[in-house]
Amino acid sequence: MTGTRIAALGHYQPAKVLTNDDLAALVDTSDAWITSRVGIRTRHVAGPEEPVDELAAHAAGKALAAAGLTPADIDLVLVATSTAIDRSPNTAARVAARLGMASPATMDLNVVCAGFTHALATADHAIRAGAARRALVIGADKMTEVTDWTDRTTCVLVGDGAGAAVVEATEPGDGATAAIGPVLWGSVPEMGHAVRIEGTPPRFAQEGQAVYRWATQKLPALARQVCERSGIAPEELAGVVLHQANLRIVEPLAAKIGAVNAVVARDVVDSGNTSAASVPLALSKLVERGELPSGAPVLLFGFGGNLSYAGQVVRVP
């Protein structure tokens, strides 16, 4: 049976950086307050002339270059985002147009902070079923555009960015190198109120304590199930890349999962919460810096809006 792998990764963040001291000039907060509660020090902010599809296209272009491919080699584009303002053309179609693609299938997925891992699973399934050969899977969000900058509980959290992966088919006998493992996904619909982007204009809001309790209490067991589905013991993981929501969530979870030998992504410190971009952004940076060896197993786990979640073990390209 045809399998799949991540062939290459890419990421992009806007040039403008907003520090905690910058935020302290806008709302009643401080660097000490922010770092003690969520661990964030800086975040990147896109300007009004930088829409979500532009962020996504930059990351996708870098992933294609790293894979040694051209846009013509891609027949499926999936973009995970919850901050695209326009309904049509969708973000994936706009990315395809920016990259000059001929006739790919183009779809957006809105699963908020769990979007990328949902999209990665969808690409894996499409390729395994023979519906696509190579896919661009992108997580991109412009959270600053849906932020209330007078609300100190949320405006200190968010940042903008994009991460992308080229996913391609493997043939029998290729081995496990860069393979994408089975997904574990689901949601807690009755807790949909815990993370919201609602209204006109849309604004991000959340019940931080509810999300924190759920993530710290429920996520470790779910993450261990992901490892079981891939036949990987947690102590064999080389890396753990969780949704970068809060350093106080991210840091303890690797220990609770049992990933005692893993490099744990802490990109939230520099990038803030970039929603669907956070997992591919953090993974791409770890690979770019050489902190994860090629072929090593890494746990990806996204969670957030609807209290949706999705995770899989992948091999580093």
Active site residues: 113, 243, 273
Alpha helices, DSSP H only, in 43-199?
52-67, 91-99, 115-128, 152-155
Rounded CA-CA distance 49/70 in Å is: 26
What is the full DSSP assignment across 286-306? HHHTT-S-TT-EEEEEEE-GG
Other C-beta atoms lying within 10 Å of the C-beta of residue 225: 12
Q: Are 24 and 31 in contact (CB under 8 A)?
A: yes
User: Which residue's entry shows tokens 């994936």?
Assistant: 92
Any residues with CB less than 8 A from the CB of 15 and at least 6 apart, and which? 44
Order of strands across the sheet that contains 3-12: 3-12, 160-170, 134-142, 76-80, 105-109
Tally of CA atoms within 13 A in the half-sphere of 41 that contains its CB: 4
116 closest CA partner among 270, 239, 6, 272:
6
Q: How many angstroms separate the Cα of 251 from the Cα of each of 88, 121, 163?
A: 39, 25, 21
Other C-beta atoms lying within 10 Å of the C-beta of residue 85: 12
User: Which residue's entry shows tokens 């932020």?
Assistant: 147
